[in-house]
Amino acid sequence: MGIEITAIDVRIEKFSLPAMAGAAAFLQRTGPLNAPLLGLYGLPAVGGALAAYNVLVEMPGTVTMTDINTMVQNVIDRLQFFRKFNKNRKMSRLNILDHGNENSMEIGGDTLDEKNIDRFSKVLSLLKGNFAQSGFVHLQNCEIGKNEKLLAAFARIVNVPVYAGTGYHHGVLRLNTGDYVRADPGGTISRDVGRP
């Protein structure tokens, strides 16, 4: 069984209203657990959304990122943590959640597009070999599925399929309003594929 890791831009989870609403909903679903959760983080009820943020971000398969370097480093560090318990485990799925549009995507403070992706290929290629045989990357950015050249380049660099949606991506529900596109490492593009 592979490991699913989600890399989230700290700016999205800490400061976006949808994320805060999702965090509040998380607290509401926990019912009687609210008080211990808030106490655990030393926060009053007013800070409930922030407490939920901390719980969500500190979940074992979730890492934060501020740029491409920290994303790769934090993903590899988390994977090594899991390997302490089972040295043969690899990633089955890497979700990268940040802002995007049809021309470019953000990974923390870095903007990635089809023209500059090669500049980041050395760092991104560190992910290669850390995926299970059926592993893949799911880019959870708005509209980035429309940029098939970028998806193909990303897939080539990390050597696994890359999925992305063509519509707007909902940061809390983690759903895209468009169709999904899949780029394979060999450059093949498949359109209207199912959500990974």
Domains of the chain are: 3-17+58-193 (3.40.50)
pLDDT of residue 28 exceeding 50: no
Distance CA(124)–CA(89), nearest Å, equals 20
Name the β-bridge partners of 6: 62, 95
Query: So what's the pLDDT on residue 12?
Result: 58
Distance CA(189)–CA(193), nearest Å, equals 10
**Residues 67-95: tens digit of each pLDDT:** 999 999 999 999 988 888 888 889 999 99
**Residues 31-74: tens digit of each pLDDT:** 444 444 444 444 344 444 444 444 444 466 888 889 999 999 99
H helices of 41-182, in order, are 48-57, 68-83, 121-124, 148-158
CA-CA distances (angstroms) from residue 7 to 35, 59, 99, 156? Answer: 28, 11, 12, 20
pTM of the model: 0.77
Query: So what's the pLDDT on residue 123?
Result: 97
Virtual torsion, Cα 137, 101, 170, 6, nearest 10 deg:
30
Q: Return the exposure string of 103-137: e unless at least 16 CB atoms fall within 10 Å of the residue's CB, then b.
A: ebbbbbebebbbeebeebeebbeebeebbbeebbb
